[in-house]
Amino acid sequence: MNENDAVVTVEEESSMNEPTKVSVHTNEVHPGLIETLQTNNNKQIMPAFAEQTMGEQNGAIDDKILNNTDANRYFTVETAQGYIAINRDFKDQTEGGRLLSYIAQMNSWPAAIFTKLNADRRILTFHIANNPYRINASNVASAALLNGKNIENQLGIHIVDSGIGNPRQGSQLSVDQASSSRLTIVTLVICVLVLFTMAAFVLLYFVKRNDRIRNKLAEITHIKGLSTNYYQDLCRQRMQVQPTGSKSPEIHKVHQSSPSSAAPTTVTAGSHVKHNSEGSSTRSSTSSWSEEPVAPVNMDIMTGHLILSYMEDHLRNRHRLEAEWQALCTDEANEERASCSIALSEANANKNRYIDCIPYDHTRVQLTNNGNDDYINASVITDSDPKCKYIATQGPMPNTTNAFWQMVWEQGSCVIVALTRPIENGITMCHHYWPVEGSARFNDFEVNLVSEHIWSDDYLVRSFYLKNVQTMETRTVTQFHFLTWGELNNPPSAKALLDFRRKVNKCFRGRSSPIIVHCNDGVGRTGTFILLDMVLNRICKGAREINIAATLEHIRDQRAKMVKTKDQFEFVFVAVAEEVTYLLKALPQ
């Protein structure tokens, strides 16, 4: 080696098994060394390390990784000689030649530049002859790694390493793959950040959900703040008031807690509506519901607290509520469904808004017709009393509106509970089956809008005259329309729906005809309202055992898919707890 040649010093960085790095020193610093790599007889001498004059070249060399652990060893790296390492032994020298020929073909190089090929076990070494293309072993090594996938697909050779020098003589430099490593690291960092962001959003959702539930529980259980002694005093006072030998406890009437004592805003239609001197309209005297208090409640304090504890336990124990809902869904899926052949018949296919929300044959409402056209997508729902209590139906369609009013007439219904807007989020949920003003004719029936009472932002009440033009008979029908309950969601508050239900029950009290309840499909919101009303009616009648899951199963035996989501199922528990709390407060203390 000449005196002025640069030599490479291999220094171990630490005992932490980190790869050794290449640094460069010179025997003599000479201004002529401050230039790029010098080639002499196909041997490239590494540039000298001079911090003040060659920092940039040293940085490039320092990044090269040397697969040699013999510290303080000096050698000269030949850039005319290169190597390629694969993951198995070469079959023969010919396979090594094919590999280099394929690399030359992909890069449009002449194959003649490769000399001194030697395939020894897993390493192929070669020399690059002097050529006008300025191709050296470093170019070949880089091309081998960059085209590794194509080489593996075409030749079945998997390249694991390549570089310049001769690894068997301990003098080689691997091709720098830092860029691909950095890309991998950046990709992993981005993936981790995305996962953390998603996890943060999910955590935030559940935190807010739990806060809402805790606030609701705090609202509906504030009566629990009574001390144990005070509660016992209430029970003793109640027992003392009851006369000796009486057969049943005293019946108390629970009055509605109205948000305001003001009369509702009224939109009038026809001459039945009167106006006062100030121009404000009043309700028509033909309205079929009144301001009398809710039905008497046959529930004592002890039963009320037991029911309230049952509801609170389900709301606090998320696993229990989830298990009951999953059991309901599993039972409905596994049970052999009753026949729906009439609803699925070709003649009735266009009368169903949704093909999966249809009535069973044995519970469907049958219209009175001379022909066979007696179908409407509506189901009879009963409680323990075999007398029809509800009719659950889909929102009328343009081609089923006549049948809907015929059903109202033939079933003798005086109350319609509508739980959907005609259009929600641009999607038609229900045909506008009532007149906006004046009257409208629906086959043999004429519907006349008498008045429209806007009670709150959540609901309004309409009063109709329904006339049979064949017999000239007339009836009054009241529609209770809840406006703020979106599909697959819950009402804005339990209080709003409970107040709405009280209005419905005031109108319905004392009547034997069924309540007609509909949303868009006749199962989601419709099933939730019927389940809530049925459970609360049982409580008001003095039932001491309440099982909401069993009640829903009883309802689903009469119309499939009633209550569509777990959130709607959970909402019934919240609403029942709030109503029982209200009834307990209304009992005389």
Catalytic positions = 519
- Which residues are registered as beta bridge partners of 75? 8
Q: How far apart are CA 425 and CA 429, in angstroms?
A: 10
Half-sphere exposure of 115 (CA within 13 A, CB side): 9
Nearest to 38 by CA among 91, 78, 90: 78
Query: Cβ of 475: how many Cβ atoms within 10 Å?
Result: 16
The amino acid sitting at 229 is N
Q: How far apart are CA 227 and CA 242, in angstroms?
A: 23
Here the tokens at position 112 are: 């003649």
Pairing of β 6-11 and β 171-174: unpaired
Q: How far apart are CA 518 and CA 551, in angstroms?
A: 19
Return phi, psi of residue 240, to 5°: -70, -35
The amino acid sitting at 138 is S
Return phi, psi of residue 532, to 5°: -60, -45
Three-state SS for 510? coil
Sign, CA torsion 126/131/137/139: negative
Nearest to 550 by CA among 542, 538, 211, 541: 538
Q: How far apart are CA 541 and CA 528, in angstroms?
A: 20
Q: Which helix (H) or strand (E) holds 426?
A: none
Q: CB–CB of 517/526 below 8 Å?
A: yes
Triad 553, 556, 560: Cα angle to 5°: 145
Q: How far apart are CA 271 and CA 64, in angstroms?
A: 97
Q: How far apart are CA 569 and CA 325, in angstroms?
A: 8
Query: Cβ of 113: how many Cβ atoms within 10 Å?
Result: 18
